[in-house]
Structures are given as C-alpha cells and as structure tokens.
C-alpha cells in the first residue's frame, strides 16, 4: 500500500521525539533527584514511544505505558554515579578505566529496568497487566508506611536503646548514625516489598485456612530452632570464628581506628547479637513455608523476584564478597558512597529471569536493547563532556595551578565556555541518548510483539487505567513538586514566607508546606473525581481515540512538570540556568509540536511475530558486549590522549579528582565514620 511505513516507531522523527522526551525528563530529574525525579523521563518516553509505534493496540494502553515506564526508569536513580564520573576526570589511569566501566554498568542497569517497565504494557495480556495492580498496590502501601515510619523508628531506637537525644539525629548529613544504615543502600524498601508480597499472598489465600495455619508453626518454630543453634555454635566458639570471616570494617584500618569505622552489617545487629539466630531462623522458616504453600498469583511473583533479587545480590556482593577485596575497599563500586548498584543488579536479574520464564520474553528483549544502549550512553556522554571541556581547560593548561598562570590569556578567552553548566549538558545528553536506545528497543518490539486482544478481555477493569493516569498526574507530580517549597522558603532567598495567614481569617496561620499540601489535595480530589466520572460517563474533552488520549495525557504532564521545574529554579535564576530551564522549555515546545504531528492515525506497524524471540536476544547480547568493549576502551584512550595524567576539572572535590584505587582512593582518605559528616 502506498505511503505505508513498516515501522513508524523507527522513523527518525519518532526516535527524535522519544529521545527529546527522555532528555527533558532527565534534565528535570537532575533538579528533583532520586527515584521520584527519575520517573519523569520514564513517563514521557513511555507515552511517546507508545504513540509513535503505529500500534493501535498499544495506544489504547497509553496510561499503562506512562505508569509502568515511570516505575521502570525510577529504580536506577537509587544508584550513586557522580563519583564514578569523577573517576573518569581524575587523571589516574586505573580509576579512569574503572570509571568508564562503572558508568556502563550503571547505565545498563538503569536503562535495562527502564526498558523493561516501558515494554511490559506492550506484551502482557490485559488480564495479566491489570491483575498486577493488586500486588503492586500492596507494595506501594507498605512503602508508604516505611516512608512515614522509618524516621520515627530510628528516633525511638536512638532514644531507648542508645539513650541519645532523638532530636540530635540528622537523617541527611549524619545518616550513617542510624541503627538501620547499611552501605547507604535501600535495603529496607526491598525488605518491605518482600513483606508486602508475602502479605498479599496470604490475603489472596484467605479462603484457604488449611494452608495458612502452618505459617504459625514455621514462623514460631524457626526463631526457636535458630536461637538454639546460635547458642550451641557460640558455646563451641564458632560464632566468633565465623564473625572474623564475615564482619570487616569499611575503611583503611592503618589510618583510622577499626572501632570508629562502620562494618559491612547494620548497627542493630551488633546491639542485639543474641537475636541473630532468631532472625535467621525466622527468615528460614518463613521462606520454607512460602516455598511450599505460596501461590503468588496476579504475577505477584514478578515483584517478589525483583525484591528478593535486590536482597540476595546485595548480600552476595558488597556484604560477603568485600572480605576478599579489603585491600581495594571491598567489592563496592563507589566506597564510601551507596551500594544500591548491587541491589539494582539483583532487581534487573530477577526481572529478566521472571520474564524469560513466564512467557514475557519480548519484555526481556526490549530490556536488553535499552540496557546496552543506556550503558554505552552513560560512558559515552561522560567522554563527550570531557572532549567538550578540553578547549581552554585551566586544569590542563596549568596543572600545577601556578599564579600567575602562564596560560592566563588562553584561559580568559575560554572562561565563559568553561563556566557553562556542564553538569546539565551531561544530564540532558545522557537522557537524549538513553531515549534513542529505548526508542529503538520499542520500535523493534513493535515489529515483533504479538498483537494484543484487549477487546476480547472478559472483564474490563477501567479503574486500573484511571489509577495509572492518577498515579502520573497527581502522585508523581506531587512527590516532585512538593520539594519546591523548601527552595522557596530557603533562608536568604525566601520568595515565599515560611508561614501565611488565611484570607480574611488572621487566626488561621499555616506553613507554606501545609498550604501547598492543601492545594494539592484539592487538585487530587478534582482529578480523581474526573477520572472516575470519565470511566462511567465519558467527558467530551477527553478524546475517544487512543492517540488523542495519549497526546492530551502527554501535554498535560509535560507542561505541568516543566512549569513546576521553572518555578523551582526561578528564585536563584542566573545565566548558567539557561542551559537547563531555557533549553528544557525550548525542547518542550519542540516536543509539543512533534507529539501532535509525528504520530498519525493512519500509521500502522507491520507486525511479523517470530516463532521464537531467543535468536534476537542472543544477537542483542553478542553485539552489545562487543560494542561495549570497543566503546569503553576507545573512550578511555581518548581521554588519556587529551589530558594525559592531568585532572580535567568539572568534577571531584577540592580541586582534584576522586580516585577508586591507590593511596588517595576515597575509601582510604574519607571513609564514613560512626560519628561525623557522611561522605
């Protein structure tokens, strides 16, 4: 047929739209930070990839693409990577090569999970996808409990166990003083996710009391047996012997007293050593029970695979294997910083194992394409930044930092170039290249994934679509934009007062945060009401077509978040912010025009589903590994050629680069101590 495009998602303009969408979100993510911020690019790229695919069966699911895309891209943000970038700037060859490999690993993990989340709504059946909302909501509820309960629990522990003033605890700069601190990693969210899925499974089997009763036997018997075994081992002197192999200080004991260094286990275990046997017994007993009787319906096993993957991978790598690498700071990526990379490795491994075992192999295929693209992008953009800051670089021209500088004239000529917001360039460029990767992954998936049969679903669940839309428009925007209030009321700036009286009633005086929360509660009520109303009786403003809904969804979110991001920066705006907020607004205008013109109703992807996806997966793995090795060594050689052994600036601490190896390695010179500032 004339004018038919076989793969609309692989057109250059389609790839550009997805890439710019992820770039905008990534630039904004840099301002808001962490997992909440990283969901922004995931939502935008997921919706854009869905709309340009030419798959009408995908477009009907656009809200799911937004939500699962956001969740998938959110995971990687827990990984610390600025120190890894600093390694590549350091001028120390072993640390630089390690830095490029580390950036690849981080990008691989981040984009791999992002690609998996984006691809899931494109592959799972309607019944399967909507059933996942049940266990997912249990996890979200348990995480909410953890979010609001962790700090009170820490304060209570410090007061009643340590006898310290609970008000003296600084959960940011002194967070290692928490009894639950463990390599600065998110082990508690992973543990709570496991507990949530186990609780869901029990609730799901509530009409099967004969299978629930044995839980009490294992849950009570496990700690008893574990305690008996522990005391028996201690009587034989085995516990102290085992401790010498599995407990070790995190730092250079030749420079810092061992008793002032953190160990590879959380502090509460040291406070209650006699409880270790009961804890191990409880975990073992519960694991045996659920291995025998657990059913894990509604694909709750996917979330269990991911959460257990986090915990197992974390225990194996930084916790246990570090003993064999003590002379190198342990089996850790960025000591003394977070080791969430190990947990996220387990999350991705758990997700891939599940999808390849449970009939969702195309999700794994898209995940691997995105992962290799993300890994190469992370390392490649770091190299590109170093190339860009080479002209007039004062650290290269005057490495001894002589005063007056013998190259002062050259440095002055390039001063404005050097003063640019290169971190924002890095962020937005990484987002763009990751967007190219996920666009290609979804474009290829559109050609090979079987067509979805939502119209044949026996039971429609419109509430799940409303929940997905509300999750994005209300919850995702709130958890990011509420951070603006701290900036607006910051001492020395204060464009907004800390407290304000209600109009007409001077007896009502509320904090700026309370006014913000009150306003957002009204927004939430309005949006939820309209979404529920639309599921029962369609609202005329909301288009009937999947494409139209997706375009409205995309535009409402992108401009809400762009304006919120600009408001955050406005109080301290200066010319360096142009590379962030101004560029983001310009790209937002481009994406507005493209989202309304690039995807077309008449687009139709030609689907040719292979009998097996395995050959394509193998091809991706082989090509990806070869391309990775070539790119990393080429990037390392390029930086060494440009800078030699000189620090490149634009990263690091105190005018010098951070190092992973050698006498000046961060873990040797600035470890986290039991008391003091967190590094």
Task: Report angle CA 669, 342, 138 to the nearest 5 degrees.
Answer: 130
What token pair was written down for 607?
């689907």
Average pLDDT estimate for 179-195: 96
> Is residue 47 very low, low, confident or very high in pLDDT (cuts 50, 70, 90)?
very high
Handedness of CA 380, 385, 391, 397 (dihedral sign): negative
Per-residue b or e along 512-529, where b marks 16 or more CB atoms closer than 10 Å to that residue's CB: beeebeeebeeebeebbe
Judge whether residue 77 has pLDDT over 80. Answer: yes
481 with 413: CB under 8 angstroms? no
Query: Distance between CA 464 and CA 39 in Å, rounded?
Result: 19
Helix axes 187-204, 300-314, angle to 10 degrees: 150
> Is residue 168 very low, low, confident or very high in pLDDT (cuts 50, 70, 90)?
confident
**Residue 392, Ramachandran bin (φ over 0: left; ψ between -120 and 50: alpha; else beta):** left
The residues, ordered by sequence, that sit 6+ positions from 80 with a Cβ below 8 Å of its Cβ are 184, 333, 334, 337, 338, 340, 341
Query: Distance between CA 189 and CA 138 in Å, rounded?
Result: 13
Query: Distance between CA 55 and CA 14 in Å, rounded?
Result: 13
What pLDDT, on a 0 to 100 scale, did the predictor assign at position 511? 92
Handedness of CA 264, 270, 273, 279 (dihedral sign): negative
What pLDDT, on a 0 to 100 scale, did the predictor assign at position 579? 85
Judge whether residue 508 has pLDDT over 70. Answer: yes
pLDDT in tens, 93-151: 999 999 999 999 999 999 999 999 999 999 999 999 999 999 999 999 999 999 999 99
What pLDDT, on a 0 to 100 scale, did the predictor assign at position 1? 41
In angstroms, the first-to-last Cα distance of the chain is: 62
What pLDDT, on a 0 to 100 scale, did the predictor assign at position 33? 78
Could you write out the three-class secondary structure of 578-617? HHCHHHHHHHHHHHHHHHHHCCCCCCCCCCCCCCCCHHHH
- pTM, full prediction: 0.95
Judge whether residue 30 has pLDDT over 70. Answer: yes
Average pLDDT estimate for 161-177: 87
Average pLDDT estimate for 567-591: 89
Average pLDDT estimate for 653-675: 89
Judge whether residue 80 has pLDDT over 90. Answer: no
201 with 296: CB under 8 angstroms? yes
What pLDDT, on a 0 to 100 scale, did the predictor assign at position 2? 45
What pLDDT, on a 0 to 100 scale, did the predictor assign at position 660? 94
What pLDDT, on a 0 to 100 scale, did the predictor assign at position 458? 63
């Amino acid at each position: 047929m004339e004018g038919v495009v076989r793969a609309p998602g692989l057109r250059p303009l389609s790839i550009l739209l997805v890439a710019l969408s992820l770039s905008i979100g990534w630039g904004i993510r840099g301002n808001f930070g962490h997992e909440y911020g990283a969901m922004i690019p995931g939502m935008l790229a997921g919706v854009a990839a869905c709309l340009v695919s030419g798959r009408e069966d995908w477009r009907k699911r656009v809200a799911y693409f937004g939500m699962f895309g956001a969740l998938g891209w959110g995971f990687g943000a827990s990984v610390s990577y600025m120190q890894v970038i600093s390694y590549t700037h350091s001028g120390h060859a072993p640390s630089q090569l390690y830095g490029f490999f580390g950036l690849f690993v981080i990008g691989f993990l981040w984009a791999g999970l992002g690609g998996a989340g984006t691809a899931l709504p494109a592959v799972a059946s309607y019944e399967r996808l909507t059933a996942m909302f049940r266990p997912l909501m249990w996890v979200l509820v348990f995480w909410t409990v953890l979010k609001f309960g962790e700090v009170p629990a820490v304060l209570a522990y410090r007061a009643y166990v340590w006898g310290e003033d609970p008000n003296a605890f600084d959960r940011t700069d002194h967070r290692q003083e928490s009894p639950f601190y463990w390599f600065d990693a998110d082990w508690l969210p992973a543990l709570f996710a496991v507990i949530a899925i186990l609780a869901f499974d029990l609730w799901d089997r509530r009409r099967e009391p004969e299978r629930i009763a044995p839980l009490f036997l294992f849950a009570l018997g496990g700690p008893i047996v574990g305690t008996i075994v522990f005391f028996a081992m201690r009587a034989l002197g085995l516990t102290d012997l085992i401790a010498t192999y599995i407990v070790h200080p995190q730092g250079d004991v030749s420079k810092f007293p061992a008793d002032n260094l953190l160990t590879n286990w959380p502090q509460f275990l040291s406070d209650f050593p006699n409880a270790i046997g009961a804890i191990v017994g409880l975990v073992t007993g519960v694991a045996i029970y659920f291995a025998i009787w657990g059913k894990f319906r509604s694909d709750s096993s996917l979330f269990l695979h991911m959460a257990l993957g986090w915990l197992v991978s974390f225990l194996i790598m930084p916790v246990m294997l570090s003993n064999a690498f003590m002379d190198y700071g342990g089996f850790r990526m960025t000591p003394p910083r977070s080791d969430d990379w190990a947990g996220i490795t387990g999350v991705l491994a758990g997700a891939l194992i599940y999808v390849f075992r449970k009939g969702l192999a195309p999700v794994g295929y898209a995940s691997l394409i995105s992962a290799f693209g993300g890994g190469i992008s992370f390392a490649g953009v770091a190299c590109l930044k170093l190339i860009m800051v080479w002209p007039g670089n004062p650290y290269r021209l005057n490495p001894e930092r002589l005063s007056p500088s013998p190259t002062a004239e050259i440095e002055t000529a390039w001063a404005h170039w050097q003063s640019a917001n290169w971190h924002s360039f890095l962020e937005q460029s990484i987002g763009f290249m990751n967007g190219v990767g996920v666009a290609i992954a979804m474009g290829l998936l559109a050609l090979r994934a079987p067509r979805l049969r939502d119209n044949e679903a026996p039971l429609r669940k419109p509430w799940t679509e409303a929940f997905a839309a509300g999750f994005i428009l209300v919850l995702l925007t709130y958890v990011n934009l509420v951070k603006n209030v701290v900036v607006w009321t910051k001492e020395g700036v204060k464009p907004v007062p800390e407290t304000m009286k209600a109009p007409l009633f001077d007896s009502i005086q509320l904090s700026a945060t309370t006014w913000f929360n009150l306003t957002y509660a009204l927004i939430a009520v309005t949006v939820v009401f309209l979404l529920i109303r639309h599921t029962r009786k369609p609202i005329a403003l909301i288009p009937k077509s999947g494409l139209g809904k997706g375009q409205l969804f995309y535009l409402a979110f992108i401009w809400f978040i762009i304006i919120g991001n600009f408001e955050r920066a406005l109080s301290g705006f200066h010319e360096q912010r142009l590379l962030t907020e101004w560029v983001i607004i310009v790209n937002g205008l481009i994406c507005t025009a493209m989202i309304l013109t690039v995807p077309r109703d008449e687009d139709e992807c030609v689907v040719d589903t292979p009998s097996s996806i395995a050959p394509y997966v193998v091809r991706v793995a082989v090509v990806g590994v070869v391309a990775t090795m070539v790119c990393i060594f080429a990037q390392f050689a390029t930086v060494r050629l440009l800078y030699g052994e000189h620090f490149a600036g634009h990263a690091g601490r105190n005018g010098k680069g951070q190092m992973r190896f050698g006498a000046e390695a961060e873990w040797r010179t600035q470890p986290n101590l039991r008391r003091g500032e967190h590094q």
